[in-house]
Amino acid sequence: MAQAGPDRIRRCYDRWQLIFAAPPNGTTLLTFVCSTWVSSAARQRLTAVAITLVTAVAFLPVIGNGWVQRDDPDNFLNNTGYRGLGPAQLRWAFSTFQLGVYQPLAWVLLGAQYEVCGLSPWGYHLASLILHCVNAAVLMALAVAILRRCKFMDGAGAGDNTSLYFGAAWAAALYAVHPLRVEVVAWASCQPYLPCTMFAMVSVIAYLRREGASGAGRVGWLGASCAMYVLALLCKAAALTLPGVLLLLDAYPLRRFSGAGRSLRRAVLAAVLDKAPFAAVGMFFFAVAWGG
């Protein structure tokens, strides 16, 4: 009878070990269940949905916000140019430098919101909340795409993919609910940063997908990446430095320069030439902003 307590504790510990702890072969019951009954794509989608819900709950109070006295009166309350999606409003959106900023696609999105809610601030805050939730899910997809190409993931199995998804989810969640995100979500005048961020991240995802393609697929993914870069710049100039980010990704995790030996200069030149369309687009938007 004296051993009943320790034996019971030992049995409980063994059950816990089976479910959660990794035995020498690295397979736990939890990992086995996830990898057997839930596909890899389904795990990623479910985790992205969870991140979106957490983000929505954290920022739900912004819907009750009013206008901010800084910039909002000039951008919305006293600005009739953006109100609607007619030809006059579209011409205004693509020609204005309101408050010194060129963001035509962002004005089109704001014009669509005016069609729905007029000058009621809740509609703009709701749109910002939705965009931020989408960005959280896209960031998780981007984190998965980057981590999957890292050297430590070479030869990874199903269990490692499960860890990858949860690691990417934590990164996306920490970004999404961080207090620094409050300004762009709760301030209507900062909303253009949200679609800019979304298109920039999708551009990076398309660029990463290009690395695993061949022939016309490589050209197609590069074109898609450049197109998303254009859309990002049409929302906000903050995406201007994206080509530099792509060069960093060429170095790691894509490792386009590793093992190049004497052809290192050629590999670097090829990577730089890949960015020529991005550089041309960036210079065009820089010239437009400078001329405005």
Per-residue pLDDT at 19 = 39
Band of residue 165 on the pLDDT scale cut at 50, 70, 90: confident
pLDDT at 157: 52
Average pLDDT over residues 169-188: 94
Position 227 pLDDT exceeds 50: yes
What pTM, to 2 d.p., does this model score?
Answer: 0.83
How distant, in Å, are the alpha carbons of 189, 201, 271, 274, 278 from that of 186?
9, 21, 39, 38, 31
Give pLDDT tens digits for 15-29. 444 434 444 444 444
Farthest CA pair distance, the chain = 88
Percentage of the chain beyond pLDDT 90 is 64
Whole-number pLDDT of residue 244: 94
Mean pLDDT of 282-288: 92
Mean pLDDT of all residues in the chain?
85
Could you give the percent of the chain with pLDDT greater than 70? 82
Higher pLDDT pick, 47 / 42: 47
| pLDDT number for residue 74 | 96
Q: By three-state DSSP, how is residue 88 classified? A: helix
The dihedral formed by the CA atoms of 221, 224, 230 and 231, expressed in degrees to the nearest 10: -140
> Closest Cα partner for 285 from 82, 71, 101, 108?
101
